[in-house]
A = this chain, B = another copy of it.
Amino acid sequence: MYWTEFFIPTNKEIPADAKIPSHQLMIRSGMIKQESSGIYSWLPLGFKVLKKIEKIVREEQEKAGAIEMLMPTLQAVELWKESGRYDGYGKEMLKIIDRHNRFLIYGPTNEEQVTEIFRAFVKSYKNLPLNLFHIQWKFRDEIRPRFGVMRGREFLMKDAYSFDLNEEESKKSYYKMFISYIKIFKRLKINTIPVVADSGEIGGSLSHEFSIITNTGEGQVYCDKRLFDLELDNDDLNNLSDLERAVGNYTQFYSATEDKHNEKIFKEKVPEEFRLKGKAIEVGHIFSFGEKYSSPMKAYITNKEGKNVSVYMGSYGIGVSRLVAAIIEYSHDKKGIIWPNSVTPFHVGIINVQADNKECLKVIQEIKSEFEENNLEVLVDDRDESVGKKYADMDLIGLPYILTIGPRDIKEKKVDVKFRHTDTKENLSIEGAINRITSLAKEKTRS
């Protein structure tokens, strides 16, 4: 892609209402634009990152056996009355009246709707287990939307819903999702802490939040850093004891939110060098809630004995749009964003020092093609701007590898490469640079 054929409206100014780095950087790099309070447009650069995160989430959920579908954004109010959540949800629920004076809501979550789908079609234990997920826009009418897409009102969420015959089977589904979440966050290159959680408005007995620590999180979290060094074998785990063991590898380490934190146990269990505390951003939340919805909503199945029983359910959310901001909070410096290879909008940026030099343009085009043949995406800054402005913008938008090419470089078949992750520069042969970057980018995007 050439910069002049794309649409990246970068900005030097820090917007006055943006209080945290991710919000500032997403505005400054032309990734998003606010349309109303807590409601954003995703400009092309931001949209690319959003889609890459979505793709990783989708792939890992499918590998774990979940099936994708799509529920609508607007829901019938009646379902929420059946489940008993209509009155409890409060003002965050956006209520809508249509032209026939019927009430709808903009879905903040989909437990009721998916239970309705389940009960319409599934009648027997023989069709279980079942896990349905969708990636759809949701709305929560936050009283004070802030921090950009971190706490917006219209947001993109992946939510999966498991249906099982009984508690044991339901636990298996829960653990599968736990492991799938670990895999997703590993591919996104963020160190995520699973913490036992309150189940809040969703309800249920078993629940974990997945959080990352950054300077701008909203609640304190405490954990044992050794969590981050755990390796997952990539085999698909299918029986309960294997799954329990895999999950146990994570839950054996101390982790707690502020309200559940016990300083004495923390110090006993965690050697000093591994103690970590900081402010947390929640990026995922999983719940096992048994019959909480299926019982009032009469989502019954026949069990092996031919008896009607309520199906056991769980729900599993990931804030896809929030993750864009969370990754930036996690990975940036004073100059701008530093994207992990797995979600970067482009892998390679190329700065043309002399925008009107045709020989340079030709060599750049060849380099671009070679990267693209290796499945790396390239952004060429071909604008008629100063080199300083081009450097600053490349740093701002956060591409991992930045090549600078001028007339002298071409003669020597050399190129300056900046490695954004390590903030280092090297002068390499053109071929050497292509090979090195291709192998680095591939290694780091591997799932």
By a CB distance below 8 angstroms, the chain B residues around A154 are 72-74
Q: Is B98's CB under 8 angstroms from A70's CB?
A: no
Q: Is A98's CB under 8 angstroms from B104's CB?
A: no
Number of this chain's copies in the assembly equals 2
Q: Is A40's CB under 8 angstroms from B99's CB?
A: no
Give Cα A137 to B143, complex, Å: 25
By a CB distance below 8 angstroms, the chain B residues around A197 are none
Q: From B40, B68, B99, B102, give the contact of A72 (CB < 8 A).
A: B40
Interface 9-mer from A114-122, A404-412, A436-444: A114-122
A120-B33, A132-B7 known; A70 and B50 CB under 8 Å?
yes
Give Cα A100 to B38, complex, Å: 13
By a CB distance below 8 angstroms, the chain B residues around A130 are 7
Q: Is A47's CB under 8 angstroms from B71's CB?
A: no
- Restricting to A53-76, which residues have a CB under 8 Å from any CB of B? 65, 67-76
By a CB distance below 8 angstroms, the chain B residues around A116 are 35
Q: Is A41's CB under 8 angstroms from B72's CB?
A: yes
Give Cα A99 to B90, complex, Å: 10
A7-B132, A76-B35, A141-B99 known; A69 and B40 CB under 8 Å?
no
Give Cα A113 to B141, complex, Å: 21
Q: Is A91's CB under 8 angstroms from B99's CB?
A: yes
In the complex, A240 has a CB within 8 A of chain B:
no
Label chain A's interface by main secondary structure: mixed
- Restricting to A1-56, which residues have a CB under 8 Å from any CB of B? 5-7, 9, 30, 33, 35-37, 39-44, 47, 50
Q: Is A41's CB under 8 angstroms from B70's CB?
A: yes
Give Cα A104 to B36, complex, Å: 9
Q: From B39, B44, B102, B121, give the contact of A68 (CB < 8 A).
A: B44
- Which B-chain residue is minimally distant from A131 (CB atoms)? B7
In the complex, A96 has a CB within 8 A of chain B:
yes
Q: Is B113's CB under 8 angstroms from A41's CB?
A: yes
Give Cα A6 to B121, complex, Å: 13
Interface residues of A (CB under 8 A from B): 5-7, 9, 30, 33, 35-37, 39-44, 47, 50, 65, 67-76, 91-92, 94, 96, 98-100, 102, 104, 106, 113, 116-117, 120-122, 130, 132, 137, 139, 141, 143, 154
Closest 6 CB pairs between A and B?
A9-B121, A42-B70, A36-B76, A91-B99, A41-B71, A39-B72
Can you pick out 15 interface pairs between chain A and chain B where the beta carbons lie within 8 Å of each other? A5-B65, A7-B67, A7-B69, A9-B120, A9-B121, A35-B71, A35-B116, A36-B72, A36-B102, A36-B104, A37-B100, A41-B72, A47-B68, A72-B154, A96-B96
